[in-house]
Structure 1
Amino acid sequence: MRHFDTAATRAGLPYDALVPALRRMFAGGCEVPLRHTHALADADGHTVGTLLLMPAWRPGGRLGIKTVNVFPGNALQGLPALHAVYTLFDGSTGVPLAQMDGSEITTRRTVAASALAASYLAREDARELLLVGAGRLAHQVPAALRSVRPGLRRVRVWNHRPEGAALLVRALATEPALEGLQITVATGLEAAVRQADMVSCVTLSTAALVQGRWLRPGSHLDLVGGFTPAMRECDGEALRRARVWVDTSEAMAKAGDILQAVAEGLFDPAALQGTLADLCRGAAGRAGPDEITLFKSVGTALEDLAAAELVFDRG
């Protein structure tokens, strides 16, 4: 069995290869059962962590399982709260093929899915990106989106902590994949949204940040961060004004952005335009230069399998 550490996993997932790999997997499909979630308790019975198992496979192809451990108390020990490994098997024999850095796979496939959606939904002449959030995922968004919208010229970063935005701007300025871009801190969220062609939200917010009335005609809103019904990155007005797509139908039961807008009477689930699979199989994306588009993702093991296969085949 081969082993891919963090650096080797990252090297196997360049966005100009990963986005097409996701497109092929969404178009072709694979088996994705519900993820398994288990609470982990200490000797006194107190829950200290969560174990997630996320399998996916292609009949006659390969089988993969991502194992994710979430231990919120790790911060007290100076450790990340989340750790993950990915194990890839031969789907016909069960023979183990490789083990990879599951956290690296998760980060890169998540932003690559946003880039895949943007390849159908963002205007081809999009030049300005607003990045809302300044964490690990946010760091990867500009490179992923630039891989499908090479006309990108400017990136603004807004964060609820301005010092976090400044740190990310300095980090992005050293990225070879972003050479030539103007990268600055956005001091005001409303003004930055009103100027942006693409707005990508990568936060853990439970209160709407982006207001629908701020979105300019022709813009594309990408919602990455919220993955529970209690989390929210935009208001219901944004969904009311936009044509809405999701990564998978699971988002309709998990995404607070959608569920809360439905509860407010601002979005009808019947108005959903479709999923990434629909787009990759030929469904119409952006219908005109002035319409507002919105993509909401919650993640899927299909993406993990596509990424792991790419790492293995390129390695």
Structure 2
Amino acid sequence: MNILDAGGVHRLLDYPGLVEALRAAHRDEAMPPASFTVTNEPRDGPNTFVSLVAWAYQDLIAVKLVGVFPGNLALPVPEPSVQGLVALFSGRTGAPLFACDGAALTFRKTAADSALGAACLARRDAEVLLVVGAGGLAPHVAMAHASVRPIRRILIWNRTLARAEAVARELARPGIAAEAVSDLDTAVAEADIVSCVTMATAPLVRGALLRPGTHVDLVGAYRPEMREADDDVVRRARLFVDTRNGCDRSGDIRQPIERGLITLDSIEADLFDLCSGRHAGRGSPEEITMYKNNGGAHLDLFTARHLMRRAGREAGPAPAG
């Protein structure tokens, strides 16, 4: 059984290849059955342990075991807030086939999910990307978006400016200017794509400031009480999600529904609709689009399968004898 560490995962899961693998999976396959279990830390602690399983019939079973420990970044020696393992098993025999670092795969999968949404929905000439948040996922969503659109300028906003500056330094390269910004509202008004990767419980992105044609990518706010974009974003935008399954667990969908601003039927399409051509996506350069990245075990399966194939091709045939 092949086992890959974080470095191997990042090296093999380049964004152009992964985005296309996810596009093909959403185009050619149905949603595999999946389960999701959350165990809360004893004594009402802030941490959770999550298990996700997806089963593609007669193909593969993907299992992700992951701890979500929000305080890890504040440790004396910081660690990722999300850590774990992803394993693949045969869908025919149940035999273990492959395992890899779960945090690295989650970073890559999540960023590629958003990039695929942007590939379907953002304007083709989008050049200015605003990343809201400066955690471990921030550089990944920036690189992933830059793999599908001609990004020339990346703005990074974070409540702690020094962390935004560190991400900007990491992202700067020939052809792409990256800079930390302190005024979020001004940055929102300048951006062609706004990608939010935060743990916010109150809206950060004000819809009234969005220029026509902006694409809003919401990655955080995975719980009902969390929120990254305000009601004006929902009012002005055409609404899309990566998957309809459980999309109302997110505050950016749940709260507008509870306020009567939208219903689940207001969501026009998910990635299966967009990638298969059942929905055309963006209809004009002036439209504002909102995409909620919810993730899910099926995306872990699609990503891990692509990774296992990449690793197998790199390894080549087994030596004779």
**What is the TM-score of this pair, normalised by structure 2?**
0.90
Aligned length: 307
User: What is the aligned partner in structure 2 of residue 153 from structure 1?
Assistant: 152
User: What is the aligned partner in structure 2 of residue 191 from structure 1?
Assistant: 186
Q: Aligned ranges for residues 288-299 of structure 1 at < 5 Å?
A: 288-299=284-295
Whether 2:309 is the aligned partner of 1:310: answer: no
The answer to whether the 8 Å contact 1:115/1:144 transfers is: yes
User: What is the aligned partner in structure 1 of residue 55 from structure 2?
Assistant: 57
The answer to whether the 8 Å contact 1:30/1:57 transfers is: no
C-alpha offsets along residues 167-214 of structure 1, whole Å, 9 cap, x if unaligned?
Answer: 1111112xxxx5310111223111111111111111100010101100
Could you tell me how far apart the structure 2 residues matched to 1:191 and 1:20 are? 33
Could you tell me how far apart the structure 2 residues matched to 1:186 and 1:114 are? 22
Q: In 2 relative to 1, CA 213–40 (structure 1 residues): closer, same or farther, beyond 3 Å?
A: closer
- The alpha carbon displacement at 1:55 in A equals 0.9
User: What is the aligned partner in structure 1 of residue 21 from structure 2?
Assistant: 21
The one-letter code sitting in structure 1 at the alignment partner of 2:281 is G
Could you tell me how far apart the structure 2 residues matched to 1:119 and 1:196 are? 16
User: What is the aligned partner in structure 2 of residue 222 from structure 1?
Assistant: 217
Whether 2:242 is the aligned partner of 1:241: answer: no
Q: Secondary structure at the match of 1:136?
A: coil
Could you tell me how far apart the structure 2 residues matched to 1:202 and 1:84 are? 20
Q: In 2 relative to 1, CA 80–189 (structure 1 residues): closer, same or farther, beyond 3 Å?
A: closer
C-alpha offsets along residues 44-91 of structure 1, whole Å, 9 cap, x if unaligned?
Answer: x66575332111121121111001123457666745443210111111
Q: Aligned ranges for residues 1-315 of structure 1 at < 5 Å?
A: 1-27=1-27, 28-41=29-42, 49-71=47-69, 78=77, 79-149=79-149, 151-173=150-172, 178-282=173-277, 283-315=279-311
- The alpha carbon displacement at 1:307 in A equals 1.2
Q: In 2 relative to 1, CA 155–70 (structure 1 residues): closer, same or farther, beyond 3 Å?
A: closer
Structure 2: runs of 5+ lacking an equivalent: 312-321
The one-letter code sitting in structure 2 at the alignment partner of 1:270 is D
Could you tell me how far apart the structure 1 residues matched to 2:281 and 2:46 are? 43
Could you tell me how far apart the structure 2 residues matched to 1:48 and 1:166 are? 28
Q: In 2 relative to 1, CA 191–48 (structure 1 residues): closer, same or farther, beyond 3 Å?
A: closer
C-alpha offsets along residues 86-142 of structure 1, whole Å, 9 cap, x if unaligned?
Answer: 111111111111110011111110010110011110000111111111111111112
Q: In 2 relative to 1, CA 252–169 (structure 1 residues): closer, same or farther, beyond 3 Å?
A: same
The answer to whether the 8 Å contact 1:39/1:49 transfers is: yes
Structure 1: runs of 5+ lacking an equivalent: none
**What is the TM-score of this pair, normalised by structure 1?**
0.92
The answer to whether the 8 Å contact 1:12/1:310 transfers is: no
Q: Secondary structure at the match of 1:35?
A: strand
The answer to whether the 8 Å contact 2:191/2:214 transfers is: yes
Could you tell me how far apart the structure 1 residues matched to 2:298 and 2:114 are? 14
- The alpha carbon displacement at 1:253 in A equals 2.1
Could you tell me how far apart the structure 1 residues matched to 2:87 and 2:309 are? 14
Could you tell me how far apart the structure 2 residues matched to 1:54 and 1:288 are? 37
The answer to whether the 8 Å contact 2:34/2:55 transfers is: no
- The alpha carbon displacement at 1:36 in A equals 1.8
Moved more, 218-227 or 79-88: 79-88
Could you tell me how far apart the structure 1 residues matched to 2:244 and 2:148 are? 24
